Amino acid sequence: MVEELRAAHRKIEAVRGSGECPDGLVTATVDGRGELLALDLDPRIYREHDTRALGARILAAVGEANADARRQVAAVADLIRPR
């Protein structure tokens, strides 16, 4: 059981969730704890000077990335749950 937990912990540490805003101009990557690892901005984003829209795009991308990471972590947790 201890080795199963260690293996699950390693899998969770390896989780990388990704997400993008609806228009695809912002992409985010988070780890299994939801910490932001990368934030990529498409150069086309600089054509618009609306900081609120940029903030909303970033939040949407990070939210999607966190949802993806949560799904992956939940899948790992399902593997170690007692039946």
pLDDT in tens, 25-56: 999 999 999 999 999 999 999 998 999 999 99
Classified as helix, coil or strand, 33 is coil
At residue 27's C-alpha, the angle toward residues 16 and 36, to 5°, is 50
83: pLDDT strictly greater than 70: no
How far apart CA 56 and CA 48 sit, in angstroms, is: 13
Is domain 2-80 classified as CATH 1.10.3720.10?
Answer: no
- What pLDDT score does 77 carry? 83
Give the pLDDT band of residue 4 (cuts 50, 70, 90): confident
Let me know how long the chain is.
83
**What global pTM score does this model have?**
0.87
